[in-house]
């Protein structure tokens, strides 16, 4: 069925045609007529199914009549992360080229000024993360009593991130007579309860998981040792030697690991960006843009920041850490093999990951084969005694750009008596024989390892701060990285200034 038969306005049909889409996806074909008929919709669908257009296209059509009033937006879309919110805004830009609508993006990490201006002018569409929306409301800048249509997107992700109390509060602030569209990839009991209370006689639209990604993406497991430096070395080998490599998203389980891995890869000469919830909005968008444009071929990311991102041409996904939650595996590998392209996903599996791996294989309903092309070393064997496997270059054989660089400004001196883990790390990252200086750990990295544990805020406001509860798994806190317990180069004494948290967020 073509788009023109779904009841969309001429302006919208033209914009869709200009985007190059000829056929609606199943969720679009099923949901759009009901949205246009002003029905509530419960959509069970993941990203990658075309669900953003399933609500933006009919919204554009409905918004052609009526106009926005100052500080009283007409429609509201709630998204769990800033990136997803920005992606929905892009969708309105693309499909709304023939409209003159005011769209306001209310997300954390950027100043209130521009956002205030857009609301004051009268917004047809507000796209927001829950925390920032409530901030605007509490500052008295926003009235939600004019909302005609509410979209709650990625509801199960909202649940994971602890946003449900905020969502419930927002729903009480919008009119009872609104139209509601509620999307979730899964329907756990808590989400079912919410949909029952938010929706009135909804039409249920369910599309199969984009299992095609799981089916068309080559998946491989790569055995690695437990030590972080061994995992990092294995990853570098994979990046260097994997066939048909163009670009990759590398997933870590923790934000701190994202930052550490990015620094390590950069030290080894890779062109790499990072995406995690502690970065300010500018840095997050810059990282994404550089990766999307192809300027930077590697993006190290945490699950929350990268979930649902629509980056069409990702040739590889590397799971630096085996995900603790099996659904995260499906979301991660769903970043590659999109839009009919082939993709490949490699998961590093360390001793202790067996349980997580078992849950993943159970969820996807198939065993994941081990990568035979690069026989793994026995775990934790020092580099010198290990035979070099295919594609593994000797330090001398490395290109200049891949060699660890010599100590530079702002980096610490190597510890006189380093602990075993650190010694291995240095051996692993040893420079070429003729290199003038040993590579050493940047001061920031040492500081990061000695940061005191962050306190869980009682009721965090910023959506990104709320990524923490998930990523700071209690299990991980019980089993801290052994490196982090040690003091490098300072004996047993850690000066107080090194224990102070490092401010890497931009002031709001
Ligand atoms: P979403 O599930 O909304 O994240 O969309 C996933 C991808 O599908 C995005 O790149 C969309 O631009 C693309 N897409 C959306 N609708 C269509 C369509 N009807 N035909 C082809 N691609 C589409």
Ligand 1 mutation target, pool 4, 17, 53, 55, most atoms within 8 A of CB: 53
Q: What number of CA atoms fall less than 13 Å from residue 453's CA on the CB side?
A: 16
Ligand 1 atom with minimal separation from the 19 CA = 12
Domain limits, the chain: 3-206, 217-364
Contact 469, 456 (CB under 8 A): yes
Residue 502 Cα to ligand 1 middle (Å): 40
Q: Whose CA is nearest to atom 5 of ligand 1?
A: 50
Q: Is 47 in the pocket of ligand 1 (CB under 6 A)?
A: yes
> Which single residue is written with the structure tokens 């008596």?
417
- R_g over Cα of the chain: 24
Ligand 1 within 6 A of CB of 46:
no
Q: What number does the ligand 1 atom closest to the CA of 25 have?
A: 19
Residue 51 CA to ligand 1 center (angstroms) comes to 7
Do residues 311 and 292 touch, judged by C-beta distance below 8 A? yes
Nearest C-alpha to atom 10 of ligand 1 is from which residue? Answer: 310
472 pLDDT more than 60: no
pLDDT for 397: 35
Query: Using CA atoms, how far apart are residues 204 and 209, in angstroms rounded to an integer?
Result: 15
Q: Are 124 and 73 in contact (CB under 8 A)?
A: yes
Q: Specify the ligand 1 atom closest to the Cα of 52.
A: 3
- Cβ–Cβ under 8 Å, residues 399 and 270: no
pLDDT tens across 181-203, in order?
999 988 889 999 999 999 999 99
pLDDT over 80 (residue 163): yes
Among the listed residues 23, 115, 101, 110, the one whose alpha carbon sits nearest the alpha carbon of residue 56: 101
Sign of the torsion angle spanned by Cα atoms 416, 421, 424, 426 = negative
Ligand 1 atom index nearest CA of 46: 2
Q: Which atom of ligand 1 is nearest to the CA of 312?
A: 10
Encoding tokens for residue 425? 């790390």
pLDDT at 343: 87
CA atoms within 13 A on the CB side of 192: 4
pLDDT the model gives residue 211: 47
Alpha-carbon gap, residue 121 to 139, rounded angstroms: 17
Q: How far is CA 168 from the centre of its chain?
A: 24
For residue 254, how far is its CA from the centre of ligand 1 (angstroms)?
A: 29
**For ligand 1, is residue 49 a contact (CB within 6 Å)?**
yes
Kindly report the backbone phi and psi dihedral angles of residue 149, in degrees, each rounded to the nearest multiple of 5, phi listed first: -140, 130
Please report where in the chains the tokens 């982090």 appear, as a residue: 484
Task: Note the pLDDT tens digit of each residue in 409-456.
Answer: 222 323 332 333 333 333 222 233 333 232 223 333 333 333 333 333
Cα–Cα distance, 465 to 108 (Å, whole number):
10
Sign for the CA dihedral angle at 221, 225, 231, 236 comes to: negative
Q: What is the CATH number of domain 3-206?
A: 3.40.50.300
The reported pLDDT for the residue numbered 453 is 37
Residue nearest ligand 1's atom 14 by CA = 50
SS3 track for 371-405: CCCCCCCCCCCCHHHCCCCCCCCCHHHCCHHHCCC
pLDDT tens digits, 381-394: 333 333 333 233 33
The response to whether residue 51 sits with its C-beta less than 6 Å from ligand 1 reads yes
CA distances from 420 to 75, 186, 445, 461, 477 (A): 58, 45, 17, 41, 21
For the domain covering 217-364, report its CATH number. 3.40.50.300
- Residue 292, ligand 1, Cβ within 6 A: no
Angle CA 281–283–287, to nearest 5: 120
Surface-to-core class of residue 141, CB atoms within 10 Å of its CB (0-12 exposed, 13-18 middle, 19+ buried): middle
Which pLDDT band, with edges at 50, 70 and 90, does 16 fall under? very high
234 CA from centroid of ligand 1 (Å)? 34
Determine whether the shortest distance from the Cβ of 52 to ligand 1 is under 6 A.
Answer: yes
Rounded (10°) angle between helices 10-19 and 51-62: 150
User: Is the distance from the beta carbon of residue 50 to the nearest atom of ligand 1 less than 6 Å?
Assistant: yes
Q: Hey, what are 330's tokens?
A: 């499906």
Task: Give the pLDDT score at 482.
Answer: 33
DSSP state of 485: G
Residues with Cβ within 8 Å of 20's Cβ and at least 6 positions away in sequence, in order, are: none
For atom 16 of ligand 1, the residue with the nearest CA is 50
Tell me the pLDDT band of 498, cut-offs 50, 70 and 90. Answer: low
Residues 6+ apart with CB under 8 A from 65: none
Ligand 1 pocket mutation, candidates 13, 18, 25, criterion most atoms within 8 A of CB: 25
Which of 26, 52, 309 to mutate to test ligand 1, by most ligand atoms within 8 A of the CB atom?
52
Cβ–ligand 1 contact at 21 (below 6 Å): yes
Mean pLDDT of 32-36: 98
Predicted pLDDT of residue 247:
95
Ligand 1 neighbour 25 (Cβ under 6 A): yes
From CA 102, how far away is CA 105, in angstroms rounded? 10
Quote the strand ranges of 51-113, DSSP E.
75-78, 103-106
Identical fold at 3-206 and 217-364? yes
Residue 310 in contact with ligand 1 by CB distance below 6 A = yes
What's the rounded mean pLDDT across residues 230-249?
Answer: 94
pLDDT of 411 reads: 28
């Amino acid at each position: 069925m073509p788009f023109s038969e779904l009841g969309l306005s001429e302006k919208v049909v033209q914009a869709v045609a200009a985007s190059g889409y000829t056929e609606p996806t199943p969720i679009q074909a099923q949901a759009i007529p009901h949205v246009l008929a002003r029905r509530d919709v419960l959509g069970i669908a993941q990203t990658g199914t075309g669900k953003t257009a399933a609500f933006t296209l009919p919204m554009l059509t409905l918004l052609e009549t009526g106009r926005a009033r100052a500080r009283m937006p007409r429609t509201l879309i709630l998204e769990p992360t800033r990136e997803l919110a920005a992606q929905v805004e892009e969708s309105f830009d693309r499909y709304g080229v023939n409209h003159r609508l005011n769209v306001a993006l209310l997300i954390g990490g950027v100043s209130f000024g521009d956002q205030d201006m857009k609301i004051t002018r009268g917004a047809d569409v507000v796209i927001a993360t829950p925390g920032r929306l409530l901030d605007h409301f509490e500052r008295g800048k926003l009235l939600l009593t004019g909302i005609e249509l509410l979209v709650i997107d990625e509801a199960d992700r909202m649940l994971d991130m602890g946003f449900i109390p905020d969502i419930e509060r927002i729903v009480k602030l919008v009119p009872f007579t609104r139209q509601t569209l509620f999307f979730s990839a899964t329907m756990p009991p808590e989400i079912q309860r919410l949909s029952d209370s938010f929706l009135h006689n909804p039409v249920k639209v369910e599309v199969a998981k984009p299992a095609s990604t799981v089916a068309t993406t080559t998946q491989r497991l790569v055995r690695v040792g437990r030590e972080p430096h061994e995992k990092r070395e294995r990853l570098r080998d994979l990046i260097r030697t994997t066939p048909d490599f163009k670009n990759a998203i590398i997933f870590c389980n923790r934000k701190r690991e994202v930052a550490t891995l990015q620094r390590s890869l950069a030290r080894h000469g890779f062109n790499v960006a990072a995406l995690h919830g502690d970065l300010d909005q500018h840095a997050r968008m810059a990282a994404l843009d550089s990766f999307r444009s192809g300027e930077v071929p590697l993006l190290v990311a945490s699950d929350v920041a990268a979930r649902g991102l629509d980056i069409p041409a990702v040739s590889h996904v590397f799971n630096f850490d085996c995900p603790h939650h099996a659904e995260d595996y499906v979301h991660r590998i769903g970043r590659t093999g999109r839009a009919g392209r082939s993709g490949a996903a490699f998961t590093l599996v360390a001793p202790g990951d067996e349980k997580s791996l078992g849950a993943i294989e159970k969820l996807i309903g198939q065993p994941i084969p081990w990568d035979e092309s690069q026989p793994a070393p026995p775990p934790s064997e020092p580099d010198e005694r290990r035979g070099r496997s295919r594609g593994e270059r000797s330090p001398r054989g490395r290109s200049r750009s891949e060699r660890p660089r010599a100590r530079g400004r702002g980096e610490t001196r190597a510890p006189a008596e380093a602990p075993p883990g650190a010694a291995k790390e240095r051996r692993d990252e040893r420079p070429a024989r003729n290199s003038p200086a040993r590579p050493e750990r940047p001061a920031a990295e040492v500081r990061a390892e000695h940061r005191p544990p962050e306190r869980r805020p009682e009721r965090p406001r910023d959506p990104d701060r709320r990524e923490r509860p998930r990523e700071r798994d209690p299990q991980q806190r019980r089993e801290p990285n052994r490196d982090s317990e040690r003091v490098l180069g300072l004996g047993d004494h850690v000066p107080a200034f090194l224990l102070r948290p490092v401010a890497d967020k931009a002031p709001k």
